[in-house]
Each structure stands twice: as C-alpha cells, then as structure tokens.
Amino acid sequence: MSTVKLKECLTHIRTQLDNVVDFWLKHSHDTVHGGFFTCLGKDGHVYDEMKYVWLQGRQVWMYCRLYRTMGRFCKPEILEAAKTGGEFLRKNARVLGSSNPWKCAFCLTRDGRAVKVQRSIFSECFYIMAMDELSRVTDDKDLQLEAEQMMEQIIYWVRVDSSGLGRPSLPGDVPTNSMAVPMMLLCLVQQLTEGREEAVTQKYKELGNWCVEQILQHIQRGGTAILENVSVNGEELPGCQGRLQNPGHALEAGWFLLQYSAMWGDDNLQKTAINKFVELPYQNGWDKKHGGLFYFLDVDHHCPTQLEWNMKLWWPHCEALIAFLMAYSQTKKPELLERFYQIYEYTFKHFPDNDSGEWYGYLTQEGKVALDFKGGPFKGFFHVPRSLFMCECILTDLLAKHN
C-alpha cells in the first residue's frame, strides 16, 4: 500500500467535499419558505422551484451527518439549515387528507403544497433518515420516535400489505422482488441502530437478516450476474424486466452488505458481498472502450430499453468508490485498491466542474457532458457528498492504522 497515493487521494477528496458543500450552502437554501431547491443549473441558479421530498430528506441527513461527525462542518449555519429543512419536511411532506397519515408526497410546490404522490416507499425512507439523523444532532427524542413510527409503517407496506401505497391489484402484474426495496430497508436498519442501545439493535435484527436474504436472491445465472428484479421466490423473471442489470445499484448493495457483515462479524457475507456485489458488477458494467460504468445492461446483451442505458451517471461511480475502498479496507487485497484507483481516475477526470463547482451528473458514453445542470428531481445533495464523506473517513482510518 502506497501511503503517498492514498494521501493524495485523501487531500483531493477532502477539497472536493468542501467544494460541494459550499455549492449547496450557497445556492440551495430557500430562506422564504424553508427547505431546499434542488433544480440547480450549471452555475447554481434555480431553474425550477419544485421540491422533491426524497431529496429534502437526503439533504437534511447529509448536513446532519457532516455536522455530527466532521469537525470542520460543525458550523451553526449547517445545523440551522438541517433544522429548517427538517421543519419543512415535518410540516409539508405528509399528504393532508390521505387515507394513511404516514404517506408522503413525492414533490411539493415551493411553499410546501403536495403536487405528486408516488406509489412507492422512497419518500418515506428518506424522511426516516432525515428525522433519525436530525434527532442525533438536536437530541430531540420525538424525532427519533417519529422515525421509528414511520419505519413500522414501511415494514407493514413491504412485508404485510402494500395496498396502502395505492397500487391497484392487476391480473397480469407479477409480484416482484426489486432490489431497491430490501437495499433501502437495510440502509434504514443501519441508520436506526447505529450507536443505539442493544435493545434497538435486537429490535431490527430479524428485519436486517430478511433484507440480506432478499438481496442475495438477486445473484442469478449461476452466480455470474446480479439482476435488478427477480420473483418473490428468487427466480429469474421473463423479458426485459428480468434481464435488467443496474451496476450502480449492485455496487451500492455491496457496501451495504459489507457494513452489515462487519456489524455482525459475518465473514461469509463479506466474501459474498465482495465477490458478487462489488467485483462482479464492475466486471460486467465497466465500459472497456471508453471507461466508466454503464447505467443499465441486459444480461443477454440485448439493447436495454432504458434510453440512457449507455450513459455514465454520477451516482454509480460514487457508489463504486465507496464499495471498492470499503472492500479494500476490510480485506487489504491490493486488487481492490487498484480498482478503486481506476474508478477514482475516471470519476475525478470527468464529473467535477472545476469552474462553477459541484459535479455534472450525466455524461455520454464517451464521457462528455450531456446535461450540465448540477441538481434536478433525482440529483441533489446526497450521492456526491456521501461518497466523498465516506471515502475521506475510510482513507483517514487506513492512513492512521498504517502510521
């Protein structure tokens, strides 16, 4: 392990994180109605005032995590932004008049009126992350309780009865295990139990194990592929839906599993996470001609039906950086560090905007900027800063142990 190169990476990542935080502090705060603008142009101007609940929750979570764990971000303006963002969510995220008081909107007007509801759990998931993390920096037990109550509702929707989400039961609709759902629940288990008393850890242990089992069902084709969607019995589905691969999701699941294996000392799970959810999606998803990770792939090499399938998006590369660096930190296998360096070189060559700040999110297959905005309905203050934050923490720990 070359400490010189690791130190160079650490310095650069730390600088990038400072840059990204400054960009969102400067451009995203709505000082009139609270909450955050996420539709930000290349230079940070607001091009749409819609507020997306999952991105509001992500930004609150990210501000709190930085404030709580990194001394240089323990600043009053960051805490205040997190608190006002949390207040905006608590006041506006849940849909008034809904048959279920826990159902959250997908997007809101600038002043907090619901515009659209999705029949999924993801707005609620990031509401939980925001409330739980905010409870940790404010010591507000009511926020923790609210997060746990929302969690109980999500568990009911996922494992007992999903009708409350509003999806009609259709005769041709085949029940599906989409990897995003157990991944997200596992992330929430880790969020709600981190640093809490043993009773909380035990409360969510069975759910965590269930999430792992559900994620492992996505290892298909004799262990040669991770498929995004499988049947509820863990079998491959027919058609495009069944053949779909999402390398970024698989890599993100990989480091979720690595964290969980470390939490419970599960060496077998660690090996599976690295072999099947870190190395395999990299091998299948890396563009050998132009570099970078494809967004979607078809396991049988048909052209994927997603129009952006061959584009290079910011978030899969963010997840790959975390996954390979975490895998290396747990095993010290040099080939994992080499993969990290390869992804690092591509990512920092293509995504950051060194003139206006932050990162571009959408590149062509050749690595040229396709869309130059810095935030939108799907890209907010989350994947980039989370990746930089986690990589900085892992690199700092690696160098400290080496010394």
Helices 383-402 + 53-69 axis angle, to 10: 20
Q: Is 357 helix (H, G, I), strand (E, B) or coil?
A: coil
Among the listed residues 52, 10, 6, the one whose alpha carbon sits nearest the alpha carbon of residue 28: 52
Task: Please report which helix (H) or strand (E) contains residue 76, including its range.
Answer: helix 76-92
CA 166 to chain CA centroid, nearest Å? 25
Beta bridge pairs of residue 51: 108
Helices 141-159 + 122-138 axis angle, to 10: 160
Return d(Cα 230, Cα 215) in angstroms, integer: 10
Q: Which two tokens stand for residue 265?
A: 């000392």
- pLDDT for the residue 1: 63
- pLDDT for the residue 167: 85
- pLDDT for the residue 2: 80
- Kindly report the pTM of this predicted structure: 0.97
| Rounded (5°) CA angle 69-70-73 | 120
- pLDDT for the residue 111: 98
In angstroms, the first-to-last Cα distance of the chain is 12
Residues of the chain with pLDDT under 50: none
Q: Which two tokens stand for residue 350?
A: 């293509």
Give yes or no for a contact between 385 and 21, defined as CB atoms under 8 angstroms apart.
yes
Three-state DSSP string of 233-276: CCCECCHHHHHEECHHHHHHHHHHHHHHHHHHCCHHHHHHHHHH
